[in-house]
Structure formats: C-alpha cells, structure tokens
C-alpha cells in the first residue's frame, strides 16, 4: 500500500460524511493526502512503528493472562520462575512502548509541521499571485485569519490527532483477532455496544464541524475589525467620530459568540467522551461476568478472563480515540476547507506559456482601442472573505471605452480630467495590474499579456497618490526596488528626492523604522521616499499617479526637479491634478467618463477652448473684486 493511500484511508476512516455548507470532507481529505506525498519515508517509518507499538500493546494483556494461569495452576516452585520471567518481559515491553511512543510522536510532529509549512507557503504564494481586484474586495483580517487561525486548526489534525489514527487502527484490529482467538462468545458480547460509539461519532462530528465553521467566521470578523481599527488611520477615524463604545460593543458581541461556541463545543466533546467511557466500563463488567461464568464452568482459564478484560481496555481505548479523532479531524477539515477555498481561486492574471521579456532599450507605451470593466466579485473573491452571504455575480460595468494613445520612447504623456474619469484605471493597465476586456496594451509593440511579469516589474516603475511604506526601516523600504543597491546608491536617490539631509539627521539614519504605512513620516516625506524608491529601481517607463499630490509648494518644486532628472530619456505616463506640473508634456489627454475627449499640447488645448481650457480656468481663475 502506498503512503498516499495510507494517509487517505486514515483520513477517510474518520471523515466520511459530507456537509452541505462546506462541500465534501472526503474530497478535502484527498487533497490533504496529496500534501503528504513529499513525506513518504517518514510516513512509512511512522506506520511501521505504529504496527510494532500495536503488537506490543496487545502482547502485554496476553502475558498478564499467562501470569495469572501460572499462579493459579502451576506448582509453587515452578511458578516463581515463570511469573518472574513474564513480569520482566512485561517490563521490557513497557519500556519499549514508551520509547516507540516518543519516536512516533516525533515523527508525527515532523510530518504535521512539514505539511503545515507546505500549506502556509502555498497559500501565501497563491495570494501574492492574485489580482489587485482580489485585494480591493477582500477583508485583510479575514485573509490573515485563513493563514493563522485556520492553518493552526488544520495543524491539530496532524500534530495531535492523526498521529494516533494509524496506531489505533492497527491496535484495534490485532486486539479483535486475539480476543476472538481466546473466546469469540465474550468478544461478541463486548462488541454488542459498538454502535454506541459509531452513531454519536457521526452525528456529533457534523455538529462540531458546523460550530467550528461558525467560530472561524467570527474569528475572521474580529481579526478584520482589529486590523482596520488598530492601524493609524483607522484609530484616528474612530477617535474623530467618537465611536469607541460602539466599536467595543460590536467586538464584544462577536467575542461573546466565539465564547458561546467554545463552551458548546467543549460540552459536546465532554458528554461524548464521558458516554464512551461509561459504555467501556459497562462492557468490562459484561466481560468479567460472562468470562467468570465460563471460567467457573471450566470453559476458560482464569488467565484468559484477565487477558480478555485487559484486551477490552485496549479495544475500547482505540475505539474511543478513533471516535474522538473523527470529531477532531472533522473540525480540522473545516480549517483545511477554508484554506483550500483560497487556493481554489484562480488568478485572473498569469504569465503566458511563451511569455517573453520587454526588448532592451527605450520603451514605447500604447493603448489600442481599449475597453475595460472591473471584474465581478464572483470572479475574484469569496463571500466569506467579504463577510457577505453571497457574492455579487453581476458583470462589471465598463469604465473605459475605446481608449487609444501612444507614448513614444522618451515622451511624457499626461492624463487630466475630473475625479473618477478613469485616469488611474488607464495607469493600472500599463503594468498589467488588470487585463483589458478588449483591445490591447503594448510595450514596444508587444502586448503586455505576452510579457513576463518579472520583465514588467523591471521595466515599469509606479508612484501612486498614497505611496505605501511597510512597517520597516527606510533602508528596507528602499531596497524593495533593488536589493543589490549599495549604500552610496541609497544616499544618491535620497539626495535626488531631497531627503538626504532629513534622513542623515535622524538618530538611526537609514535604519529608522517608518511605522505602519510610514505614518511616522509626514505626508510629503512619505511621498518623497516612494519617489526615491522608484528612482532606485531605474525603470524605463515611469507612471506617476498624482505623485506630488501630498506635497507643499516647496517640496513639490524640489521633487519636480528630481522627477525631471528621473524622466530624462524615459517614457512616462503622468496623472496630474495640478495642471501646472504638466505644461511641458509632449501629449496631454483629457479623460472624461472613460473616454479621451481631447488630446494635444498645453498650448493647443488652451487655444481649442474645450474641456482642458475649462479645467485650466477653474484652477487658475483669479478671485474677483469684493463688492462694497
């Protein structure tokens, strides 16, 4: 039997039911078994040791029965030697069982932790490949909960529960064989109560699985609330609107529900285990009664009765463990299901099989008759990650209509227009954060869908309106752009971004931690640091999405000078709200309602007297005289 099949059978033996809300547990168990493939050798060793441990577990009651027979039937002189020898053998077996127990536990822990490592890295890598649309809809706390709470829940199945399933199955089988060999009548009576184990296990397993799923949903909701409210902007918003008590009440309501679920789960498990223990005690009484009756009539040896009683404890102990394992694994499989839900989401943007790099040299940017609608929720998200009952399955509304323009190598193309007109959407299509629905986006006349993601990252640099910084040092945030950059190169880009004096004055210099999202820096400082980062990347195409929006006049002038140096010889697409920053653009595109309604240079568009001229008058209109 292959190791994959062994794991699958062990899982299936404790999870054969299906739950309508979560799908097939059997199918989930098969997927879990596939993760076990790299651990074949350790699984083989674990199963072999489990079989040896099961044989030793059955041998002890049989030897104990022989001790009783030697005492009851043998001559006193001869019995001493037999009893002493058997007692010594039982002691050796006990030591061997303890050693095997430690070794099998070590193997099971290594297998379990290895599987969880695979699962965690698989989910993390998969989430990184998801499109931006996924992150715009998903609750961060819910996603983090999948990687933390649910993975830890899944870990319990391997590290704590599954480790005993194989050994208990072997112990159960060998115990039954030996008991039947001693007395099939007594064994049959002992098994009469077996349905009491099976029926509750099936019913309570499904019930506990539902409780586990509901608890996981509430945990995810609490994680989301904490993630959002404990960030600097979230905490500021709560304090400004004076809602701490309402936030506390909402959190407490979810926490109380988790507590109630935990109490119900604990009580169901306790009642279940107590009932099984009681049934085991009743079965033991029946064995002593019937076995004693047969012994008094001479049909059984006294040692056989003792052996049967001890074997019964070895029979019902694995039965109890297996029944409990089913309950635990059913709960753990819920965690696996929730993780597999994320893995089953197909990334909308992937490299083509024959993806190629962007050609060396200056790069042109072209949008050719582009139509685009943001993807529907059902294509990129999960209801459980959005905390909704069902996802919106309607198709997205088209936001770009027949957009075409071309930026030749080294040219600067500016996008202007009203808020929400589609300027940022156009900018996001160039680095392929989204794919177009019709038409094409091309770099050096190559469709971006035919370009490798690595090449796109090397070719395009982007500075957004709210440039993001990680809770890390200034050095680490800069090195994201180019990990191989030298110290001198870091200070050079900081100088060009007009930040070198500020950073040098900080006590820790480049090793200063900027705080979550960079909130230890001012808005202008954060933005200049993101500009320094893109300068370090040395991209051939620059996309600036309101890159100077958070800067004061002095900082803007400094950064504009740095950007002018960075833009030299590079193709650039610039989204600008302040028209003064794009006067020298080679081409200005006016975007309204997802369409390019005007195009030309600053002078020509002003002379045309259209929408651009209107925007210009609005920004630079002089206040009229005040009425007397």
pLDDT by residue (tens digit) across 275-327? Answer: 767 777 777 777 777 777 777 777 777 777 777 777 777 776 677 667 666 66
* Mean pLDDT in residue range 384-404: 76
Euclidean distance between CA atoms 213 and 216, whole angstroms: 5
CATH number given to 3-343: 1.20.1560.10
In this chain, the answer to whether the domains covering 3-343 and 365-380+396-620 adopt an identical fold is no
pLDDT by residue (tens digit) across 80-127? Answer: 777 788 788 888 888 988 888 888 878 877 877 777 788 788 888 888
| pLDDT at 381 > cutoff 70 | yes
Euclidean distance between CA atoms 29 and 591, whole angstroms: 52
Return the pLDDT at 400.
Answer: 94
Return the pLDDT at 3.
Answer: 39
Return the pLDDT at 346.
Answer: 84
Euclidean distance between CA atoms 163 and 153, whole angstroms: 15
Longest dimension (CA), the chain: 132
Euclidean distance between CA atoms 420 and 429, whole angstroms: 16
Q: Which helix (H) or strand (E) holds 529?
A: helix 523-537
Residue 19 Cα distances to 24, 212, 558, 593, angstroms: 6, 12, 62, 47
| pLDDT at 390 > cutoff 80 | no
CATH architecture assigned to 365-380+396-620: 3-Layer(aba) Sandwich (3.40)
Q: Which helix (H) or strand (E) holds 393?
A: none
* Mean pLDDT in residue range 607-614: 90
Alpha carbon distance, N-terminus to C-terminus of the chain: 99
| pLDDT at 387 > cutoff 70 | no
Residue 533 Cα distances to 107, 357, 461, 571, angstroms: 46, 23, 9, 18
Return the pLDDT at 166.
Answer: 67
Say what percent of the chain tops pLDDT 90. Answer: 16
**Which residues lie closer than 8 Å to 263 by C-beta, 6 or more apart?**
none
* The token pair that represents 28 in the structure block: 């989930």
Q: Could you state, in order of their start, the residue ranges of all structural domains in the chain?
A: 3-343, 365-380+396-620
Sign of the C-alpha dihedral computed for residues 592, 598, 602 and 607 taken in this order: negative
Per the CB < 8 A criterion, the answer to whether 536 and 490 are in contact is yes
pLDDT by residue (tens digit) across 611-626? Answer: 999 988 887 764 444 3
Confidence of residue 207 (pLDDT cuts 50, 70, 90): confident
* The token pair that represents 103 in the structure block: 């070794």
Return the pLDDT at 97.
Answer: 85
What is 121-155 written as a DSSP string? HHHHHHHHTS-HHHHHHS-HHHHHHIIIIIHHHHH
For residue 158, give the DSSP letter.
Answer: I
Return the pLDDT at 15.
Answer: 44
Euclidean distance between CA atoms 445 and 364, whole angstroms: 7
Euclidean distance between CA atoms 616 and 628, whole angstroms: 29
Return the pLDDT at 78.
Answer: 62
pLDDT by residue (tens digit) across 139-183? Answer: 777 777 777 777 777 666 665 665 567 677 777 888 888 888 887
| pLDDT at 503 > cutoff 50 | yes
Determine the angle formed by the axes of helices 3-13 and 163-182, rounding to 10 degrees: 80
Among the listed residues 580, 603, 576, 569, the one whose alpha carbon sits nearest the alpha carbon of residue 591: 576
Confidence of residue 591 (pLDDT cuts 50, 70, 90): very high
Backbone φ and ψ for 35, nearest 5 degrees, come out as -70, -20
Return the pLDDT at 20.
Answer: 41
Confidence of residue 23 (pLDDT cuts 50, 70, 90): very low
Q: Which residue has the higher pLDDT, 597 or 259?
A: 597
* Mean pLDDT in residue range 220-242: 68
Euclidean distance between CA atoms 167 and 251, whole angstroms: 43
């Amino acid at each position: 039997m292959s190791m994959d099949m062994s794991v699958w059978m062990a899982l299936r033996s404790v999870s054969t039911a299906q739950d309508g809300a979560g799908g097939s547990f059997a199918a989930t168990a098969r997927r879990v078994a596939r993760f076990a493939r790299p651990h074949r050798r350790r699984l083989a060793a674990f199963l072999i040791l489990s079989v040896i441990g099961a044989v030793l577990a059955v041998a002890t009651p049989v030897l104990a029965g022989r001790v009783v027979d030697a005492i009851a039937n043998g001559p006193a002189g001869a019995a001493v030697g037999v009893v002493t020898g058997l007692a010594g053998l039982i002691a050796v077996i006990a030591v061997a069982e303890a050693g095997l127990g430690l070794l099998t536990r070590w193997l099971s822990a290594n297998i379990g932790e290895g599987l969880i490592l695979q699962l965690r890295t698989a989910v993390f890598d998969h989430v990184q490949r998801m499109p931006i649309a996924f992150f715009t809809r998903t609750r961060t706390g819910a996603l983090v909960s999948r990687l933390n709470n649910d993975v830890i829940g899944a870990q319990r199945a391997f590290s704590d529960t599954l480790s005993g399933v194989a050994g208990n199955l072997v112990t159960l089988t060998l115990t039954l064989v030996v008991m039947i060999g001693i007395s099939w009548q007594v064994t049959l009576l002992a098994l009469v109560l077996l349905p009491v184990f099976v029926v509750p296990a099936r019913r309570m397993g499904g019930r506990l699985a539902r409780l586990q799923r509901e608890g996981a949903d509430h945990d995810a909701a609490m994680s989301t609330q904490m993630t959002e409210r404990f960030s600097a902007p979230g905490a500021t918003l709560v304090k400004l609107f004076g809602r701490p008590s309402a936030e506390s009440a909402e959190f407490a309501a979810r926490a109380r529900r988790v507590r109630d679920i935990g109490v119900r789960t604990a009580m169901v498990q306790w009642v279940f285990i107590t009932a099984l223990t009681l049934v085991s005690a009743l079965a033991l009484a029946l064995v002593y009664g019937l076995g004693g009756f047969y012994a008094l009539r001479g049909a059984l040896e006294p040692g056989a009765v003792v052996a049967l009683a001890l074997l019964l404890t070895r029979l019902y102990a694995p039965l109890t463990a297996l029944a409990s394992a089913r309950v635990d694994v059913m709960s753990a499989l819920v965690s696996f299901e929730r993780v597999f839900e994320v893995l089953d989401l197909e990334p909308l943007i992937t490299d083509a099989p024959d993806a190629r790099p962007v050609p060396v040299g200056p790069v042109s940017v072209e949008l050719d008759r582009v139509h685009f609608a943001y993807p529907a929720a059902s294509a990129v998200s999960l209801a459980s990650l959005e905390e909704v009952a069902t996802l919106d399955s309607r198709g997205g509304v088209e936001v770009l209509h027949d957009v075409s323009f071309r930026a030749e190598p080294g040219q600067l193309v500016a996008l202007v227009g009203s808020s929400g007109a589609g300027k940022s959407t156009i900018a996001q299509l160039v680095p392929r954060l989204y794919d177009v629905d019709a038409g094409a986006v091309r770099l050096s006349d190559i469709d971006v869908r035919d370009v490798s993601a690595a090449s796109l990252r090397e070719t395009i640099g982007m500075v957004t309106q709210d440039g993001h910084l990680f809770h890390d040092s200034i050095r680490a945030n800069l090195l994201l752009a180019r990990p191989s950059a030298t110290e001198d190169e870091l200070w050079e880009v900081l100088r060009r971004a007009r930040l070198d004096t500020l950073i040098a004055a900080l006590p820790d210099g480049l090793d200063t931690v900027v705080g979550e999202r960079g909130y230890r820096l001012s808005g202008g400082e954060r933005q200049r640091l993101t500009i320094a980062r893109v300068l370090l990347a040395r991209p051939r195409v620059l996309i600036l999405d309101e890159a100077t929006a958070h800067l004061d006049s002095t900082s803007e002038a400094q950064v504009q000078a740095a950007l002018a140096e960075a833009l030299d010889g590079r193709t650039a697409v610039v989204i600008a709200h302040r028209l003064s920053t794009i006067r020298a653009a080679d081409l200005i595109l006016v975007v309204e309602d997802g369409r390019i309604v005007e195009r030309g240079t600053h002078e020509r568009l002003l002379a045309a007297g259209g929408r651009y001229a209107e925007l210009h008058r609005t920004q630079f209109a002089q206040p009229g005289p005040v009425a007397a």
